[in-house]
Amino acid sequence: MKRKLISTAVLLAMLPATGAFAAALDRSGQPVSPLFQPGNLVEFGYTWISPSVEGVENAGQKRAIPDMGSSYKFPNAAIKYQANEKLSFALLYDHPFGAAAAYSGVNNFTTTPQAYGTVAKALAGQQALATATAKATQQLAGMGMNQAQIDAMLPTVLASPDVQAQMAAGAAAGAAALTPQAAGSHNTNVTVNTQSFSLLAAYQPNDNWTVYGGPVYQTIKGDVHLRGAAYSIFNGYDASFKTTGGWGVLAGAAYEIPDIAFRAAMTYRSAISHDVDTKENFVNFPGAPVNGTTKIETPQSINLDVQSGIAPNTLAFANLRWVDWSSFAIRPGQFGAVSKTVGPAVGKPNGFDLVSYDKDQYSATVGVGRKFNDKWAGNVSLGWDSGTGEYATTLGPVDGNWNIGAGVQYSPTKNFYVSAGAKYLWLGDAKAQVSSKTGTPAYDGDFKDNNAVAVGVKVGYRF
């Protein structure tokens, strides 16, 4: 492929974290820009995100909710090989979606070890008594007793020292399994991590058109712990989602005018379905953790990337992105079963999801980059993200953002470069809802005037 060197110098100076702290679970923005660089290329990048997300309760004492936005980081990498003038290949690695949040303080999204332990002990004791009663009933029935005789003998059997010792041991073990120490927190927290590997082939029949596409392999894993009065009966719910992989496709086309460094590239990524092994633990329904499978489908998306030379050594660029978050939902088996039981009481006869979103995400970034000399290039950008609605999940109480960014690239040789960039994000105000309240105007926390900082670095080598 024939590429103008100005596009390389400027685009590589762009902030690696273009999708940082976007709507819902969006993270990397899923770029394919390495595919359009001239020649052969290998690059590695790293992004750090530090959000500050604070709020107040919407009920009771309206207590403060300290910063619940956990910092996180993720790598990215790309290898691109130019086989000939018409055919090239690329392997792209990134973390397209993710979440990291942890509540703290004393509010409706946290609980105390003492309160949690008391509830766990009582519920485990009830379970131990039920287990001992069932076992004794079965033994007495095996001795030929009828139900009246069994009912008469049960108090004596259950009061025996051996049975009491077995019940005490069972209650202690059950309480230990239910305590937040086993789950890792007394507070509501969530982590979600995905990885994506895209193997692409690009064909350029002439200087103006390129078509590209290939398979995408994606993994997903996560943990969710719900704590505090806001979650009502779901206070004490835990879910662990084991690492699971799934396949999707990427397809795109680009139109270019090389003389002015113009390119418009549209990229489609399919939804990717995962059948995730899930372990659920529910303090309000004591017993052994429930193992099952949860259907999770990460959303389809479309990116439109446009660039054009506007002056010597100066390039304007824009990125538009759509993500189908309104089709995304997570409903683990035990959570879903309980939600169907309590759903009619909150106007949801079919139950409700652990996580879902009302609206799709739309985002836009525009900027200008300039090559100062053979060694230095840089850019500035302005960005907007729509979010997925004013009413947001308590696991991510943000409604989009506005952001500004700047990046710089240094090339000590013609084959090697180092780039760095930063973004400051004004996070959109949101009203946080527990899942039973989605689709209604009721909410549990008010989050305003929050922000985030993103920093990225990248190194690359052309060969």
pTM for this entry: 0.83
Give me the pLDDT at residue 167, please: 72
> Token pair 């090559």 is at which residue?
371
Q: pLDDT tens for residues 294-348? A: 999 999 999 999 999 999 999 999 999 999 999 999 999 999 999 999 999 999 9
Highest mean pLDDT of the ranges 114-118, 122-126, 174-178? 122-126
Exposed/middle/buried for residue 434 (C-beta within 10 Å: 0-12, 13-18, 19+): buried
Residues 6+ apart with CB under 8 A from 223: 184, 189, 190, 191, 238, 239, 240, 241
Q: What is the DSSP string of 247-310?
A: EEEEEEEEEEEGGGTEEEEEEEE--EEEEEEEEEEETTS-SSPEEEEEEEEEPPEEEEEEEEEE
Compute the average pLDDT of residues 436-463: 94
pLDDT band of 372, cuts 50, 70, 90: very high
Give me the pLDDT at residue 355, please: 95
Give me the pLDDT at residue 17, please: 41
Compute the average pLDDT of residues 75-101: 96
Give me the pLDDT at residue 181, please: 46
- Residue 417's DSSP bridge partners are 460
Task: Flag whether pLDDT at 180 surpasses 50.
Answer: no
**Of 202, 195, 196, 206, whose CA–CA distance to 265 is shortest?**
202
> Token pair 């020292």 is at which residue?
161
Compute the average pLDDT of residues 270-274: 98
CB-facing half-sphere around the CA of 73: CA atoms within 13 A: 8
Task: Flag whether pLDDT at 130 surpasses 80.
Answer: no
Least confident interval from 109-123, 134-148, 206-220, 375-389: 109-123
From residue 181, give the alpha-carbon distance in Å to each of 41, 177, 185, 191, 225: 47, 9, 6, 17, 12
Q: Which two tokens stand for residue 247?
A: 């396949």
Q: Kindly provide the residue ranges of all beta strands, DSSP E only, lying in 159-259, ordered along the sequence.
A: 189-203, 209-226, 237-257
Least confident interval from 20-24, 150-154, 396-400: 20-24
Q: What is the DSSP string of 98-130?
A: EEEEE--SSSTTB--HHHHHHHHHHHHHHHHHH
Q: pLDDT tens for residues 6-47? A: 444 444 444 444 445 677 899 999 999 999 999 999 999 999
From residue 20, give the alpha-carbon distance in Å to each of 356, 358, 377, 384, 397: 20, 21, 22, 11, 15
Give me the pLDDT at residue 182, please: 46
Measured distance CA(286)–CA(125) in Å, rounded: 9
Give me the pLDDT at residue 399, please: 94
**159 vs 173 pLDDT, higher one:** 159
Q: pLDDT tens for residues 221-251? A: 999 999 999 999 898 899 999 999 999 999 9
3-class DSSP state of 1: coil
Task: Flag whether pLDDT at 436 surpasses 70.
Answer: yes
Give me the pLDDT at residue 157, please: 83
Residues 6+ apart with CB under 8 A from 121: 171, 175
Measured distance CA(427)–CA(290) in Å, rounded: 37
Please state at what angle helix 113-142 crosses helix 147-159, rounded to 10 degrees: 130
Measured distance CA(401)–CA(451) in Å, rounded: 9
Exposed/middle/buried for residue 405 (C-beta within 10 Å: 0-12, 13-18, 19+): buried
Task: Flag whether pLDDT at 74 surpasses 50.
Answer: yes
